[in-house]
Chains A and B, each alone.
Chain A
Amino acid sequence: MNRTHLITGVAGQDGVLLARLLRSRGDHVVGTVLPGRGQPPLAPYLDGVDLVPLDIRDRDGFASLVERVRPHAVHNLAAVSSVGDSWAEPELTEAVNHTAVCDMLDVLRDVRERTGQAPCFIQASSAEIFGPAESGPVDEDTELAPANPYGEAKAGAHLAVARARSEGMAATNLVLFGHTSPLHDPRFVLRSITHQAAEVALGRRPEVTLRDPSTRRDWGAAADFVRAFAAAVDGTPDDYVIATGELHALTEMTGWALAALGLSVTPPGNSGEPPRQTDVSGVTSCAVRATEVLGWQPKIPLAEVIAGMARVDLRRLESGVEEDPSYLDEDPG
Chain B
Amino acid sequence: MRMLQVGRWITAVGLVLLAGVYVRALAYTPVEASQGLAQKIFYLHVPAAIWAETAMVLVGLASVFYLFTKDQRLDRFAAASAEVGTIFCAIVLTSGPIWGKPIWGTWWTWDARLTSTLFLFLLYAGYLLLRSAVTDPGARARFSAVLGICGMCEVPFIHLSVYMFPTLHPMPIVLQPGRPKLPGSMLATWLFSLGVFTLLYVGFVVQRYALSYQREQRESHA
Do A and B associate with each other? no
Chain B positions within 8 Å of A, measured between CB atoms, are none
